[in-house]
Amino acid sequence: MTAVQHLKRLTLGLTLLGLAAHASAQVQVSDAWVRATVPGQPASGAFMTVTADVDSKLLRVASPVAKDVQIHEMSMQDDVMRMGPVDSVALPAGKAVTLDPNGYHVMLMGLTGQIKEGDPVPLTLTVENAKGEQQAVEVKAIARGVDGTAPSHKH
């Protein structure tokens, strides 16, 4: 084997190793749910727990059920609870970050129709790691009642 062939194989091997390391970066989403709505309701919220294995941030969320999707945060300011959009949510390596009604959460605005209890709601999360590499994470959130409980199966 010539030096050039050896260099090409070494380069290919290192490239594949780098791709494998990149592919191993994981973002896990658990307990994803969306609040069910009544007919004509213009907005809803999506909630979940997100865990990244490397320092990352949640940049944005998209869904076909809403014209506008924003990440919001509830916060207390001057003894008044306020809600507003944020640019991103930090996802420290290995730490579960909960998006819930009382903190960070996803607002689905300009709904294209009613979200009924038990409906699956597709969400696409865009997560960026510390190197600036972005990853799309596909999630199916299940619509729950106003109190956040899972749909009941009454007979």
Split at pLDDT 50, 70, 90, the class of 90 is very high
Map out the domains of the chain as residue ranges: 26-144
Q: Write the CB contacts of 33 (distance below 8 Å, at least 6 apart in sequence).
A: 46, 47, 48, 141, 142, 143, 144, 148, 150
Q: Rounded to two decimals, what is the model's pTM?
A: 0.78
92-113 pLDDT, tens digit per residue, is: 999 999 999 999 999 999 999 9
For domain 26-144, which architecture applies? Sandwich (2.60)
Q: What is the mean pLDDT of the segment spanning 40-60?
A: 98
Classify each residue of 48-77 as buried b or exposed e, where b means 16 or more C-beta atoms within 10 Å of its C-beta. Answer: bebbbebebbbebbebebbeebebbeeeee
Alpha-carbon distance of 41 to 113, in angstroms, equals 8
Hey, what are 118's tokens?
């038990």
